[in-house]
């Protein structure tokens, strides 16, 4: 009887462990975006650390576009709220590590005015440089 209870408890424990999926990145970025949009003080550093702990996975084109749209909004709101640029740069670097290709998508859809603000802002911490490097990366398709 104890053995059966032990097995049941192991099963419940295994079911309680969250599975990491491609949508984890999207959910983290969406939660940060919603917090910033609602005027809450969202901690970009903690989200960045959470992103750094996620494994690098292949993200579908639709998910990559959704992540990029959320990230552009985060960048825009962060510039308006004068959030530390080094934290923002770390966020984008970690986002690119766990969802390869997303920084290029961010740069592609970003408003020209936002890019100009990033380049002109002394507190941006090199965010424009990181995104510019992403745009210059050459992707060689494997045949």
Tokens linked to 86: 């080094």
Q: Could you tell me the residue range of the domain that residue 100 belongs to?
A: 22-136
Total domains in the chain come to 1
| Cβ–Cβ < 8 Å for 99, 64 | yes
| Total residue count of the chain as it appears in this document | 143
In a domain, 109, yes or no: yes
**pLDDT tens digits along 108-140:** 898 888 777 777 775 555 666 666 665 555 444
Written as one string, the DSSP assignment of 55-111 is PP----HHHHHHHHHHHHHHHHHHHHTT--HHHHHHHHHHHHHHSTTHHHHHHHHS-
Residue 4, domain member (yes or no): no
Q: What is the pTM of this model?
A: 0.70
The answer to the question of residue 62 being in a domain is yes
Residue 79 domain flag: yes
pLDDT in tens, 33-73: 888 888 776 678 888 888 888 887 778 888 889 999 999 99
User: Tokens in use for 126?
Assistant: 């090199």
């Amino acid at each position: 009887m104890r053995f059966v209870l032990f097995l049941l408890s192991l099963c419940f424990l295994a079911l309680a462990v969250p599975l990491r999926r491609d949508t984890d990145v999207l959910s983290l970025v969406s939660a940060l975006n919603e917090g910033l949009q609602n005027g809450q003080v969202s901690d970009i550093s903690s989200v960045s650390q959470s992103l750094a702990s996620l494994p690098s996975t292949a993200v579908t084109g639709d998910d990559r576009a959704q992540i990029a749209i959320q990230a552009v909004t985060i960048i825009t709101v962060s510039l308006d709220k004068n959030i530390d640029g080094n934290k923002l740069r770390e966020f984008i670097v970690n986002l690119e590590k766990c969802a390869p290709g997303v920084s290029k998508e961010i740069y592609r859809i970003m408003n020209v005015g936002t890019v100009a603000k990033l380049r002109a802002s002394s507190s941006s911490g090199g965010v424009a440089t990181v995104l510019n490097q992403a745009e210059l990366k050459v992707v060689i398709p494997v045949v």
